Amino acid sequence: MTDVLVELPEEMRAELGRPMGPIFTDVERLLADAGDPLLAVGDVVTYHVERAGVVPDVAVVDGLTEREAVDDEVATGVARLGERTREVRVENPAATLTRELVDALREAVADPEPTVLVVDGEEDLVTLPAVVAAPLGASVVYGQPGEGTVHAEVTEQSKAQMRDLLARMDGDPEALLAILDDT
């Protein structure tokens, strides 16, 4: 059985649909502004980063985009990245964050080797703990459906905002934040 730490309540869905930073349609411009380390959340974003010649420090993929299987070109690009990185497989149902995912994310951020987390389920909420787990100055990039790629800079303010969102979710947000605070 999967150890779900938090689940997204229905009343927070619209709030999480708003971008958590500027939106870029040109990944090269985004990468020019990106901090270090770089965390990419989502298959299409990871694909575009890989196509630009950059290996993200952490990539989180699930084989889906907007709840549909990614096309062959995206899957091939993500697979190319997987050949040059450490790969970790985790389970994470939609609209949740599991202990397994959060532990793996924390470890991937701390690991100096690039890591791809391959999620069985969905990575739809990973941006929140990624911002909390990443060091100040890092960048978390993720897709905004129909608009482009969001660049969430990791600052004290963005960490506090993500902690607040996580703390308002159903389940055991204290346990989730305790794992992330262990970084």
Using one digit for the tens of pLDDT, what is the confidence trace for 157-178? 999 999 999 999 999 999 999 9
- Provide the mean pLDDT of the chain: 94
Q: How far apart are CA 90 and CA 118, in angstroms?
A: 6
% of the chain at pLDDT higher than 90: 83
Structure tokens that stand for 85 in this block: 């990185």
**Mean pLDDT, rounded, for 32-36:** 95
- The predicted model gives 9-36 an average pLDDT of 95
Would you place residue 183 in the very low, low, confident or very high pLDDT band (cuts 50, 70, 90)? low
Rounded average pLDDT over 13-26: 94
Check pLDDT > 90 for residue 2: no
Residues 6+ apart with CB under 8 A from 23: 144, 147, 148, 149, 150, 151
- Residue 26 half-sphere exposure, CB side, CA atoms within 13 Å? 4
